Amino acid sequence: MDSDIPEKDYNRILGVLQEENVSIPELVNVLLTEKRFKNHAVLVDLLRNAGTIVTSILGHRQLLDDARDQICAAIERIYAREIQDLVQASAGWHFT
């Protein structure tokens, strides 16, 4: 376990999710997509820690290649959009 994260027993939380038939991916997707949670403290915390979460997921030995490919494709779209913004004449750079 990461030394920055205090040792906690998450079994009760996982048990409640299991009893309610809610998976962690489902919970995360609901938090990210439903307007009723847009200001919820759990979503705010999730987004504040997104970098650490993505890094942990990408570094996990059991991550499937398909999932890694999807993450990389999303990152490529972000970089492409940023490059397009940079080469705009209004950005001060102009290429012919």
Does pLDDT of 2 surpass 70?
no
* Six token digits for residue 44: 């705010």
Establish if 22 belongs to a structural domain.
Answer: yes
Instruction: Tell me the pLDDT tens digit for each residue of 24-72.
Output: 999 999 999 999 999 999 999 999 999 999 999 999 999 999 999 999 9
Establish if 27 belongs to a structural domain.
Answer: yes
Establish if 94 belongs to a structural domain.
Answer: no
**Rounded to whole angstroms, how far apart are CA atoms 35 and 28?**
13
* Choice between 6 and 72, residue whose per-residue pLDDT is larger: 72
**Rounded to whole angstroms, how far apart are CA atoms 14 and 91?**
48
For residue 55, what are the CA distances in angstroms to 41, 58, 96? 22, 5, 37
Number of domains in the chain: 1
Establish if 24 belongs to a structural domain.
Answer: yes
Cβ atoms of 84 and 76 within 8 Å: the answer is no
Domain limits for position 27: 1-48
**Rounded to whole angstroms, how far apart are CA atoms 87 and 94?**
6
